[in-house]
Amino acid sequence: MSEHEQSARPDRLLWIDIETGGLDPLTNPILEVEMRITDLRGSSETLDSDHWIVDPEGGKASTIDPWALEHHSRNGLLDAVRTEGMSRAGTMGSIYGFLGTYSKDFVLHPAGSSVHFDLDFLTTQHQLIPGLLSHQWLDITSLRLALRTINPALLDDISSRSPKTDHRTKHCLDRDLAEYRMMLAAFNPAMPADPWDGGRR
| pLDDT computed for residue 22 by the predictor | 95
Q: What is the pLDDT of residue 61?
A: 54
Structural domain of residue 50, as residue ranges? Answer: 3-197
149: exposed, middle or buried (Cβ count in 10 Å: 0-12, 13-18, 19+):
exposed
* Rounded (10°) angle between helices 88-103 and 115-126: 120
- The per-residue pLDDT for 58 is 53
Q: Return the CATH number at 92.
A: 3.30.420.10
Residues of the chain with pLDDT under 50: 4, 59, 195-201
Q: pLDDT, tens digit, for every residue of 41-100? A: 998 888 999 999 999 875 455 589 999 999 999 999 999 999 999 998 899 999 999 999
Nearest-angstrom CA–CA distance, 32 and 51: 8
In order of 48, 51, 69, 103, the CA distances from 73 in angstroms are: 29, 19, 6, 35
* DSSP track, 105-145: TSEEEEEETTHHHHHHHHHHHH---GGGS-S--EEHHHHHH
pLDDT of residue 44: 80
Amino acid letter, 182: M
Query: Which pLDDT score, from 0 to 100, does residue 4 have?
Result: 46
Cβ within 8 Å of residue 189, ≥6 positions away: 201
Length of the chain measured in residues: 201
Report how far residue 31's alpha carbon sits from residue 2's, in angstroms, rounded to the nearest whole number: 35
Cα separation values, 46 from 27, 76, 171, Å? 33, 26, 15
Q: How many domains does the chain have?
A: 1
